[in-house]
């Protein structure tokens, strides 16, 4: 046992002492945090985009502008809702409806927008809450550039707008110039033409950037709404009645029968917890294969540097193997613990700002802890580790150098990618055919079980899969022990598969 401990300690120290190890550990959460932070920041700081509307029909310019403004007010309300969540005094409830369905937005606009709401919300907010910054307007309608005659024909106007649309010329805006993002051209017969699906389009959207869908979508909504309004009027239907009916928003409560009575409501925290298995599968995958690389390179180092022989004069092959297993497992656990600690500390720091957002995170963490996912993660990590360690130790012992190992690893990598490709599907359908099949393939069992854990898989399958993992791990480690004993001192040609089988059966010469 002393020897196993010494070997494990060396393996641990060798890896834990390197800067690369710790950089690697903290890079992952950092990259994830940064990518979330940066994408949120980027989406918030996106500049406004300017468009012109050339409405020869005179029917749509105003509805389009109204629709764009409504959408903007909705995003203000959403931002306000986020702001309130972050800055709400604990225990307080906002006395205004911060949902973003149609009626709520209409009420918000009718009440006077953000200033009115902020005044009413102030008492419920923390005293040191920062000021609310409203989001920038994503789309702003501007007039035609001055050198274009609005009275000219659509064709002429389009021809003159093209240099602007292509970025060759800039339009004047308040305090400077900006590129023209899009132009909407409406023909004189646009009202009838809107619903005509043959011949040239009466309403045209021109832009070099067709990847941005929001603007044409919002314009389409405005066109539909206005066209329908006109049809209602033409048929003598009372528009305000119809609009009132259209604004109806049905309420659907979501419940989980697996939860305790009285707490069946599915909350935001629950939704976060529901997605935690996928995150844990990902963590499991990254941590396992990071440490497998260490195990592989350490084993190869001992073989190619001829350290094995000195070691074998002091310790048995089994002691070497066990020492390595413990040492590298400790490295893996350190890595995973560091990641989890980063998440928890990150949540604390975020929670330190107070407010309902932190509360949701806190509830999500509680929900994960209560769900038994962490013990399941530990079980899958350890058994998955032993299974893959058995394979990688054998590969390491059989190869003369890292290059040879990489050749052998190629097909292994492909096999190992499967859990990554399938994890989202398994999470979506945890008892489906794919999930069931992968549960019974030992190499994938740890990942699949981890993924299915939150959905309460049948107990029989749980026990069966655990036993399968244990049996596979034992078999692979036992074989690895045999291979290690035979292969560590052997140089030159890699042994043939039949020869390896002989070793495992215990019929080798040594």
Partner 1 sequence: MAIVRNTKGETVNDTVLELENVSKRFGEFHAVREVSLAIPRGSIYGFLGPNGAGKTTTIRMIFDIIKPTSGRIAILGASSALDVRSRIGYLPEEKGLYKAMTAAATVAYFASLKGLSRKAAKQRARTLLERYGLGEFADTRIQALSKGMGQKVQVLCAVAHEPEFVVLDEPFSGLDPVNQQVLEKLIRDLSLLGSTVLFSTHVMQHAERLCDRLLLIAKGRKIFDGTVAGAKGTIPRRVLISTESSVEPLAALDAVAEIKPLGESATLAGTKDWEIRLRAQTGAQDSAQAILESCFRSGIVLRRFDQSEPSLHDAFVALVGAGAHAGTQAGAQKGEAA
Q: What minimum distance in Å lies between the beta carbon of 489 and partner 1? A: 7
Among 97, 106, 301, 404, binds partner 1 (CB under 8 A): 301
Sites for partner 1 among residues 4-63 (CB under 8 A): 6-7, 10, 14, 18
Q: What minimum distance in Å lies between the beta carbon of 346 and partner 1? A: 32
Among 175, 492, 496, 506, binds partner 1 (CB under 8 A): 492
Q: How far is residue 437's CA from residue 448's CA, in Å, rounded to a whole number? A: 9
Q: What minimum distance in Å lies between the beta carbon of 17 and partner 1? A: 8
Q: What minimum distance in Å lies between the beta carbon of 333 and partner 1? A: 22
Q: Which of residues 256 and 309 has its CB atom nearest to partner 1 in the complex? A: 309
Q: Which of residues 21 and 70 has its CB atom nearest to partner 1 in the complex? A: 21
Choices 24-32, 87-95, 299-307, 410-418 (CB under 8 A): range interacting with partner 1: 299-307
User: What residues contact residue 11 under an 8 Å CB cut-off, 6+ apart?
Assistant: 298, 323, 324, 326, 327, 328, 331
| Alpha-carbon distance values, 228 to 39, 84, 235 (Å) | 38, 37, 10
Q: Could you give the residue ranges of the DSSP H alpha helices within 140-256?
A: 154-165, 190-193, 214-234, 239-246
Choices 1-9, 57-65, 124-132, 241-249 (CB under 8 A): range interacting with partner 1: 1-9
Q: What minimum distance in Å lies between the beta carbon of 10 and partner 1? A: 6
Q: Which of residues 251 and 507 has its CB atom nearest to partner 1 in the complex? A: 507
Contact status: 221 vs partner 1 (CB under 8 A): no
Sites for partner 1 among residues 228-267 (CB under 8 A): none
Contact 397, 483 (CB under 8 A): yes
176 DSSP β-pair partners: 173
**Two tokens, residue 347:** 């949540």
Instruction: Give the H or E element holding residue 386.
Output: helix 373-398
Among 66, 306, 428, 505, binds partner 1 (CB under 8 A): 306
Beta strands in 307-442 (DSSP E): none
Contact status: 310 vs partner 1 (CB under 8 A): yes
Choices 131-139, 208-216, 302-310, 369-377 (CB under 8 A): range interacting with partner 1: 302-310
CB atoms within 10 A of CB 506: 9
Tell which phi-psi region holds residue 450, choosing left (phi > 0), alpha (psi between -120 and 50) or beta: alpha
Contact 503, 482 (CB under 8 A): yes
Contact status: 314 vs partner 1 (CB under 8 A): yes
Q: How far is residue 116's CA from residue 132's CA, in Å, rounded to a whole number? A: 13
Q: Which of residues 75 and 502 has its CB atom nearest to partner 1 in the complex? A: 502
Choices 148-156, 170-178, 387-395, 487-495 (CB under 8 A): range interacting with partner 1: 487-495
Q: How far is residue 135's CA from residue 59's CA, in Å, rounded to a whole number? A: 29
CB atoms within 10 A of CB 276: 21
Contact status: 316 vs partner 1 (CB under 8 A): yes
Contact status: 499 vs partner 1 (CB under 8 A): no
Contact status: 505 vs partner 1 (CB under 8 A): no
Sites for partner 1 among residues 321-380 (CB under 8 A): none
Q: How far is residue 157's CA from residue 145's CA, in Å, rounded to a whole number? A: 10
Among 155, 168, 177, 509, binds partner 1 (CB under 8 A): 509
Q: What minimum distance in Å lies between the beta carbon of 318 and partner 1? A: 11
**Two tokens, residue 244:** 């009132």
Task: Collapse the DSSP code of 97 into the 3-class scheme (helix H, G, I; strand E, B; otherwise coil) and give the result.
Answer: coil
Among 53, 157, 190, 315, binds partner 1 (CB under 8 A): 315
**Two tokens, residue 80:** 């306000």
Where does this chain bind partner 1 (CB under 8 A)? 3, 6-7, 10, 14, 18, 301, 304-307, 309-316, 489-490, 492, 509-510
């Amino acid at each position: 046992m002393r020897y196993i401990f010494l070997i494990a300690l060396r393996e641990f120290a060798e890896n834990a002492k390197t800067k690369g190890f710790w950089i690697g550990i903290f890079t992952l959460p950092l990259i994830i945090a940064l990518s979330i932070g940066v994408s949120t920041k980027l989406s918030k700081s996106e500049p406004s985009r300017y468009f012109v509307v050339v409405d020869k029909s005179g029917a749509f310019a105003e509805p389009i502008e109204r629709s764009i403004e409504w959408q903007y007010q909705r995003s203000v309300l959403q931002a306000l809702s986020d702001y309130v969540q972050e800055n709400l005094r604990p225990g307080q409830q906002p006395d205004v409806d911060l949902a973003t369905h149609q009626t709520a937005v209409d009420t918000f606009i009718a009440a006077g927008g953000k200033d009115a709401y902020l005044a009413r919300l102030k008492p419920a907010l923390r005293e040191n809450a920062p000021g609310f910054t409203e989001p920038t307007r994503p789309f702003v309608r501007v007039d035609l550039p001055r050198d274009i005659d609005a009275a000219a024909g659509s064709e002429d106007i389009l021809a003159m707008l093209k240099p602007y649309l292509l970025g060759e010329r800039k339009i004047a805006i308040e305090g400077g110039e900006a590129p023209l993002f899009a132009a909407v051209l409406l023909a004189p017969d646009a009202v009838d033409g809107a619903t005509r699906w043959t011949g040239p389009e009466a309403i045209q959207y021109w832009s070099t950037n067709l990847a941005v869908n929001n603007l044409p979508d919002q314009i389409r909504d405005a066109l539909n709404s206005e066209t329908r309004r006109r049809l209602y009027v033409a048929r003598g239907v009372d528009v305000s009645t119809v609009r009132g009916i259209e604004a109806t928003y049905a309420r659907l409560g979501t419940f989980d029968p697996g939860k305790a009575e009285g707490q069946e409501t599915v909350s935001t925290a629950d939704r976060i917890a529901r997605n935690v298995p996928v995150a844990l599968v990902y963590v499991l995958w990254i941590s396992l294969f990071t440490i497998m690389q260490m195990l592989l390179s350490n084993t190869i180092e001992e073989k190619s540097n001829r350290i094995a022989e000195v070691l074998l004069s002091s310790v048995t092959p089994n002691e070497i193997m066990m020492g390595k297993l413990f040492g590298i497992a400790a490295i893996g656990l350190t890595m995973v613990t560091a990641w989890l600690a980063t998440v928890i500390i990150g949540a604390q720091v975020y929670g330190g700002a107070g407010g309902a957002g932190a509360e949701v995170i806190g509830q999500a963490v509680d929900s994960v802890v209560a769900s038994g996912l962490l013990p399941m993660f530990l079980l899958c990590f350890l058994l998955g580790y032993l299974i893959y360690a058995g394979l990688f130790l054998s590969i390491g012992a059989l190869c003369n150098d890292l290059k040879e190992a990489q050749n052998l690893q190629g097909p292994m990598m492909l096999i190992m990618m499967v859990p990554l490709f399938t994890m989202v599907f398994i999470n979506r359908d945890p008892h489906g055919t794919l999930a069931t099949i992968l549960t019974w393939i030992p190499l994938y069992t740890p990942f699949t079980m981890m993924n299915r854990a939150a959905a309460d898989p049948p107990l029989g399958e749980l026990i069966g899969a655990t036993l399968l993992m244990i049996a596979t791990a034992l078999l692979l480690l036992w074989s690895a022990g045999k291979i290690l004993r035979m292969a560590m001192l052997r140089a030159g040609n890699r042994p043939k598969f039949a020869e390896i089988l002989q070793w495992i059966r215990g019929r080798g010469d040594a």
